[in-house]
Structure 1
Amino acid sequence: MERLFRWTFRIVAAVLLLAGLAIGVVYWLAWRSLPDYDATEVVAGLTAPVEIVRNTYNVPHIFGETDADVFFGLGYAHAQDRLWQMTLMRRTAQGKLSELFGQRTLRTDELLRRLGLYRAAVRSVAAQDDETLAMLEAYSAGVNARIEVINREARGRGAPEFFLFEPQIAPWQPADSIAIVKLMALQLSGQASEEVLRARASLILPEERLRDLHPDVPGKGKVVLASDLFPTLSQTQFAQADPEDDPFLWPVPRRGLSGASNAFAVAAERAAAGGALLANDPHMGLTAPTIFYLARLQLSTGGAIGGTIPGIPVVMVGRTNQLGWGLTSSYMDDQDVMMEQLNPDDITQYRTPDGWADFETERTIIKIKDAQPVTLTLRRSVNGPILTGRQFDLGTVTPQGYVPALSWTALAEDDTSLRTGLDLMRAADLDEGLAAARYFVAPSQNLMLTDGKRIAMQVMGRQPDRDELHQSQGRIPAPGWVEANRWKGTKPFEENPVWTDPEGGLLGNTNNKTVDTPFPDHLSFVWGDSQRVQRMERLLQARDVHTRASLMEAQLDTVSFAARSLLPLVGRDLWFTGDSAPADSVQRRRQVALELLAAWNGEMSEHLPEPLIYSAWMRFLQQRLIRDDLGPLTSEYPLMEPLFIERVFRNTDGAGAWCDVIQSTAPETCTEIARQSLDDALQFLEDRYGSRVEAWRWGDAHEARSDHPVLGDIPGLGLIVNIRQSTSGGDHTLQRGRTSGELPDPFLNVQAATYRGVYDFADPESSVFITSTGQSGHPLSKYYDDLGELWRRGEYIPMTLDPDLARAGAVGITTLLPVP
């Protein structure tokens, strides 16, 4: 027995020792890929030495003798910290993910191949002006120089992910940066998905109820039903068809999760210190690392600092000493789905106003890890690339004998968007900043500007030129062979709305509706916000003068206008009614919840139970209102729509009819539905968080999940690479924390301000910024998540354009020397 024990002990010890050695080897290999920020490297592609000075938070300040050398340095710095992220985005745009991940990304690759984003990027290289092309080439050379150093010095393949997946990295090219801009356009666009969902709903709902669920924001608009344009779609099985779940690394945003942002500008006369102010916080999906990377470039025209995106060689949002700029999604309707009718005698042809025409076709091969390659035949009509029913849920609204085509400005093959970024960094004043917007193509954005005195907002991006006789006005898929439905090109840049030097000295945008012009000059029927704008107006108008602190306060504001307006409406017949109920009863639990909500000011604080009660109540309320009318389509509306709830409880145009359950005999009232929904919500929360209502915390449910998009789901690794934080805010607060809406955790924070910047031109050096994770994409780096806790607490770090200050606080200086 003793001998058996000794051998068992030896075997266990040996296994543990081998496991420890394996972990040590893995750790050593991963550690090797951590960049040395205090090194000197001799690299090809430079004309003179470049310094990359890293400050306390690992923000690189890049100095060189020429602009080309500075862009080279930015490419090198991006590749030092985010090489895996860059190559993953490039592979996504190219439709080459399956070479790494196998069958689970085949649908993603198929979508990108059919859209042809990378093809359009390659063709756009020829459209660049000399200075933009020089920037792209210098940046590419910097990325490739870092890859060469990694290979030469065996620096752990550049990132730990390359030990798990294909280590070979193709050289970076100018087309790769243009392709990432186009990929961002796909991730920020939701108009095509909105068209499809609206069409599906129109097959089930009468016209007046469709207007409730998809209301205009605000005002009236034309309601067109899918069955009006395609009579064969009148059967409900099309609308209720169950689309496939999104595959791995799917780049198309779910409804409600396309681009969002806040931007505020205060002219000098409304600023306490006499210099204009600008604040910006783009809202994007939370990932680890975040999409933004902070950097400072010392160009020949002066310094530029702010948020860059790895793979793209410009400061996307930030400032110089002469200009500050921010971005918000404009929600321009720059996508249209066209249904192309196939020739029944020859499916290689589609119907046009002049008869049948041949599709433009091309064959492409998708290589798949551990599987046979797949060959696709890509087709294009004059309206755009032909998609399949598995993309954008198009199969739910495509009649037999038709195929869907997508018209979209981001498919342009003369995309000059990056010239806008270059010109903004070099602009001397507001007028030059406005002129830079002319070259931007997609994704359409609101460009907020200040030059220290004046302020302006310019809608940039190409705007489709639609015919006023368009059958659906772009609101649902339309027949592609009808001349009036086809785009007539794009409108001149001069027709894009612009607001300059407004009376009152204030500008702001929360993705709210900006113009109220009729179709086809409408810009959009679908907007990203109808609630945050109400709070923004109140905060901006409440002060005679503003400071940097007041704009920071606005960015971090967690009061929900939606909660303040909906709760009195929904609960108007429930407050303080009935006798005191027995302890531990359903009635008593409801009374406690209503008492808490009655005294609540709408602040979505992570420490309070009221935001959780309110959010759960509104979620269950909307589900009760729509599920008998929509059936399986109910799952496509997981997020509460405030305008819909308001229309129902105000009985706008008879919208109170939603409260009556169709299948029941006795008519239900909205008060009954509100009470039942509250009970549903409270039971859900009790099952999840315990029976003590007062002990519930919004932050326990509203956890910000910045997960690694590839390694985050791997058991064990997820604990290392994922960043989880309790957060305040919500769907409709200025400090936005968009919830997932999906069970089992419908209140997770999945989209928020991935960057915040506030620039004070009375004292530019006091400007501040923050991102949601950290600078490094390496999980073992101390800079992987060091900014995340500051971000969660609403703190910022300073941003300086003073070279001496940058060098004085340096924690490392990378010196790049040209090859002799």
Structure 2
Amino acid sequence: MKSIWGRIGLGALVLVLCVLVAGMVWEPFAAREGQVPASSRVYTAEIIRDDFGVPHIYGATDADVAYGVAIAHAEDDFFTLQDVAAMARGRYGAIAGQDGAQVDFMYHLLGSRETAAREYPRLPADTRALFDAYATGLNDYAAANPGEVKLDRLFPLDGEDIAAGFALRQPFFFGLANVIGPLVAGEPLNREQGPAIPGVSPDGEAKPAEDTVSPVDAADSVTVASLPIPMGEDAAHAGSNAFAVAPEKSGGPTILISNSHQPWRGGVAWYELVVESGEGWHYAGANFPGSPFPFLGHNEHLGWTNTVNTPDMVDVYRLEMDESGTRYRLDGEWRELETRTVTLPVKLGPIVLPVRRDVHRSVHGPVIVNDEGAFAVRYGGIGNLGQLDAYYRLNKATTFDEWQSILARMDIPSTNFIYGDKSGNIANIYNAAIPDRVAELDGKPVNWRGILPGDDSRLIWPGPVDYEALPRYTNPASGWVFEANNNPFMDAGPGSDLSQDDFAPELGIEIKDTNRGSRGWRLMSEAERLDRAALERIKYDTGYDRGGYVARMLMEVAQSKPRSPDAKKARRMLSEWDFTADGIGEADALALLMIRPFMGADYQNGEWPDAKEELERATEHLMEHFGRLDPPMSDLLRLRQGEGENGVDLPLDGGSDTLRASTLWDVDDDGRLSVRHGDSFIQWVEWLPGERVSSRSIQPFGSATTRPNSPHYTDQAALFVQHKLKPVHFWREDVLAHAASRKTVTSAR
């Protein structure tokens, strides 16, 4: 009898081991096999790193430079580059588990690979050459450093893989996740002015979402309510500032200030670089992991920066389905709903689980089926990968007319562009591939913010509006333009601002303002001259205007009736607060903790926090970790990265929605706030008449944010917290004078 049970036990153990081994090895073999770029050319690039480790990449051709960009970036942050590559292959769940599987679901739902396969071959040959060279650089680095590779068979990559990464990520910069996430989860959509939302009853009350639909439910625990996909500026706390000043207002140069607010680590953290080729590509700026070219910065002639805008770029259609659930009605005819089953890898400990999910598509776009029905989603820029070529051409533009003609192609789906050049031109373009919607149908206005009927093809717009329909400023009389994610009707000052009445409501242009927007507009408008000193004061301003959500929060705090003596004291302190986050006032730390949830609610039209509860929460936090309500704000707010010789733990200023931005943070075990999002890559560019362009820049950490042993892991942090910038060595003789290392890299074939 014992031998029988022993054999059964042994068999069960063998079965468990087989399942475990299968779970550990199946995913790489099931994955789409990578392809080496078709080109057989050999690439050669020179990489010179300056005192701060910033790579300056030179090559005979643009493709040589792109190869060098990949090598240099991999040397500094191959860890993140692999995450981005896995997203572009639909395999991120095999690295990041359930969070990664959510990204993979979006990859399949949006048809990112299909878009890349269709559109990449249509790009100009020199653009494709750039992407193939970049992929080759990543492949060569992976082959030379196999111990750093996180996922089997992730490499080789080709240009189409890099393009698929763009196709996946580009829609999330204008908030697509805010629509798709709730639809997938069967939760209410929070769309301003939009009635008839799934999950919301006719009287506006939210229905409980008891049986939500999730893209992955390994252990029934994964939703897309908070996608970890790189989405640019955090959806709930969007940020970025930008300034451009004409010579007559500055008293000398054209000034362009790029003040982006991005995560300080990960897939949309800025990476600074300078590129120069024998084919006329010479540009200093920053890119995101997975890009062969900078997204913002300057060349010899001109430059630009970006801020996120939030026009209504997404439309939702309710499909009329037949009884089988496989066909939908359009223009009186039944059409087959495209459905395919995909396998999502979900890493769970040492094994990777295969999770099967169906993804659907109609002629409108991706389709989400939940308990309320079937909903198709269509968004600006859908199916278009022209931005891969547009950014490349913008890098090499030499005049404002040429630069604007590229932007006018409407290939870059969103983000404001703030521009300056050596001729003294400045501009602010509300760039967005806004759907070309009809205002009326059959004599009735169309509510594009609501749920549209999916059975009428007249509501399926063919593409974006014309460039001429967008708000834009060119050389305004004020002599300056400014942007801080505010509405585009407060960007150039009194007498120069555009009027909201001049733009059609179906464009869906946001009309909300931010504290940064209103305060920056006022400070810029009040300045007689916007020279370097004045702009530095404005850029690093830590104040809040005495209005909007901050004023409402303080009013409700004053009216609250807190329970504890500490909270009552905190209420009094806030009543005397000076509306700054400069770290000087006794209530600054308290106000810092209070403001962020109210800002998030205001930005996202979310549920307004309870002032008394937030006051109690902030009070308890300060008393628990500091034993007082008035610790110096710099003791609370910290710039932290790593430990040991290259680690830093430095004081910060600024707050959520101040021009000096410390927007998002993690709460560490000691109660300190470790900032992870806010002022990130800052670049200050000046063109003086008759002189060559010059610029300065700074990052919160350094050029090698995932290499703790690198001297450039945190070597910019001390300057960053002191509001200082370092020089950008744009010209080769300056680079050689400040070279810390120099080498030549050549492709393996």
- TM bucket normalised to smaller: 0.7 to 0.9
Change (3 A) 1:144 1:678: closer
Aligned match of 2:159 = 174
Instruction: Note if contact 1:189-1:259 (Cα within 8 Å) is conserved in structure 2.
Output: no
CA distance in 2, matches of 1:67, 1:354: 52
Residue 373 of structure 1 pairs with residue 354 of structure 2: yes
CA distance in 2, matches of 1:235, 1:570: 28
CA distance in 2, matches of 1:475, 1:565: 24
Aligned match of 1:395 = none
Instruction: Note if contact 1:229-1:478 (Cα within 8 Å) is conserved in structure 2.
Output: no
Normalised TM-score (structure 2): 0.79
Change (3 A) 1:251 1:342: same
1:738, distance to aligned residue in structure 2 (A): 2.2
Counterparts of 1:205-244 in structure 2, within 5 Å, are 224-226=195-197, 236-238=207-209
Aligned match of 2:655 = 730
Instruction: Note if contact 2:106-2:168 (Cα within 8 Å) is conserved in structure 1.
Output: no
Change (3 A) 1:352 1:485: same
- When the two structures are aligned, how many residues end up with a matched partner? 681
Equivalent residue of 2:105, what SS? helix
1:446, distance to aligned residue in structure 2 (A): 0.9
Aligned match of 1:813 = 742
Equivalent residue of 1:83, what SS? helix
Instruction: Give a deviation string over 1:219-255, Cα, whole Å, max 9, x none.
Output: xxx5634389986997732499799666797217697
Pairing partner for 2:382 from 411, 418, 429: 411
Change (3 A) 1:587 1:781: closer
Unaligned runs of 5+ in 1: 1-42, 205-212, 216-221, 390-397, 579-584, 623-637, 649-657, 660-672, 707-716
1:731, distance to aligned residue in structure 2 (A): 2.0
Equivalent residue of 2:106, what SS? helix
Aligned match of 2:700 = 772
Change (3 A) 1:528 1:57: farther
Change (3 A) 1:231 1:593: closer
Aligned match of 1:28 = none
Aligned match of 2:286 = 307
Aligned match of 1:270 = 249
Decide which moves more: 260-269 or 134-143: 134-143
Aligned match of 2:34 = none
Question: For residue 727 of structure 1, what is the amino acid of its counterpart?
Answer: L
Aligned match of 2:426 = 455
Instruction: Give a deviation string over 1:720-748, Cα, whole Å, max 9, x none.
Output: 99976543222221122224699998976
1:534, distance to aligned residue in structure 2 (A): 1.2
Decide which moves more: 480-489 or 748-757: 480-489
Residue 511 of structure 1 pairs with residue 485 of structure 2: yes
Instruction: Note if contact 2:282-2:396 (Cα within 8 Å) is conserved in structure 1.
Output: no
Residue 548 of structure 1 pairs with residue 518 of structure 2: no
CA distance in 2, matches of 1:517, 1:245: 44
1:62, distance to aligned residue in structure 2 (A): 1.6
Question: For residue 366 of structure 1, what is the amino acid of its counterpart?
Answer: L
Counterparts of 1:571-720 in structure 2, within 5 Å, are 571=555, 589=566, 592-593=569-570, 596-606=573-583, 608-617=585-594, 639-641=600-602, 676=612, 680-681=616-617, 683-694=619-630, 696-703=631-638
CA distance in 2, matches of 1:249, 1:780: 31
Larger RCO (CA within 8 A; separation ≥ 6): 1
Equivalent residue of 1:491, what SS? coil
Equivalent residue of 1:532, what SS? helix
Pairing partner for 1:296 from 260, 271, 274: 274
Equivalent residue of 1:760, what SS? strand
1:308, distance to aligned residue in structure 2 (A): 1.9
How high is the sequence identity, in percent, across the aligned residues? 21
1:264, distance to aligned residue in structure 2 (A): 0.8
Change (3 A) 1:57 1:719: closer
Question: For residue 394 of structure 2, what is the amino acid of its counterpart?
Answer: L
Question: For residue 681 of structure 2, what is the amino acid of its counterpart?
Answer: Y
Aligned match of 2:86 = 91
Instruction: Note if contact 1:409-1:462 (Cα within 8 Å) is conserved in structure 2.
Output: yes
Instruction: Give a deviation string over 1:351-379, Cα, whole Å, max 9, x none.
Output: 32323210123343334553453444332
CA distance in 2, matches of 1:111, 1:177: 16
1:386, distance to aligned residue in structure 2 (A): 1.8
Aligned match of 1:557 = 541
CA distance in 2, matches of 1:91, 1:501: 43
Normalised TM-score (structure 1): 0.73
1:190, distance to aligned residue in structure 2 (A): 1.8
Aligned match of 1:492 = 466
Residue 57 of structure 1 pairs with residue 43 of structure 2: no
- What RMSD, in angstroms, separates the aligned Cα atoms of the two structures? 4.3
1:173, distance to aligned residue in structure 2 (A): 1.7
Question: For residue 146 of structure 1, what is the amino acid of its counterpart?
Answer: Y
Decide which moves more: 521-530 or 137-146: 521-530
CA distance in 1, matches of 2:438, 2:431: 21
Aligned match of 2:33 = none
CA distance in 2, matches of 1:236, 1:643: 19
CA distance in 1, matches of 2:698, 2:568: 42
CA distance in 2, matches of 1:232, 1:484: 29
CA distance in 2, matches of 1:812, 1:327: 31
Instruction: Note if contact 1:184-1:443 (Cα within 8 Å) is conserved in structure 2.
Output: no
Unaligned runs of 5+ in 2: 1-38, 215-220, 490-499
Please state which structure has a larger fraction of its residues in helix.
1
Equivalent residue of 2:339, what SS? strand
Instruction: Note if contact 1:343-1:349 (Cα within 8 Å) is conserved in structure 2.
Output: yes
Change (3 A) 1:739 1:50: closer
CA distance in 2, matches of 1:796, 1:507: 22
Aligned match of 2:24 = none
1:200, distance to aligned residue in structure 2 (A): 12
Equivalent residue of 1:421, what SS? helix
Instruction: Note if contact 1:94-1:117 (Cα within 8 Å) is conserved in structure 2.
Output: no
CA distance in 2, matches of 1:520, 1:240: 39
Instruction: Note if contact 1:118-1:179 (Cα within 8 Å) is conserved in structure 2.
Output: yes
Instruction: Note if contact 1:262-1:734 (Cα within 8 Å) is conserved in structure 2.
Output: yes
Residue 382 of structure 1 pairs with residue 359 of structure 2: no
Counterparts of 1:159-198 in structure 2, within 5 Å, are 159=148, 162=149, 165-191=150-176, 193=178
Instruction: Give a deviation string over 1:98-119, Cα, whole Å, max 9, x none.
Output: 3334556333322321122232
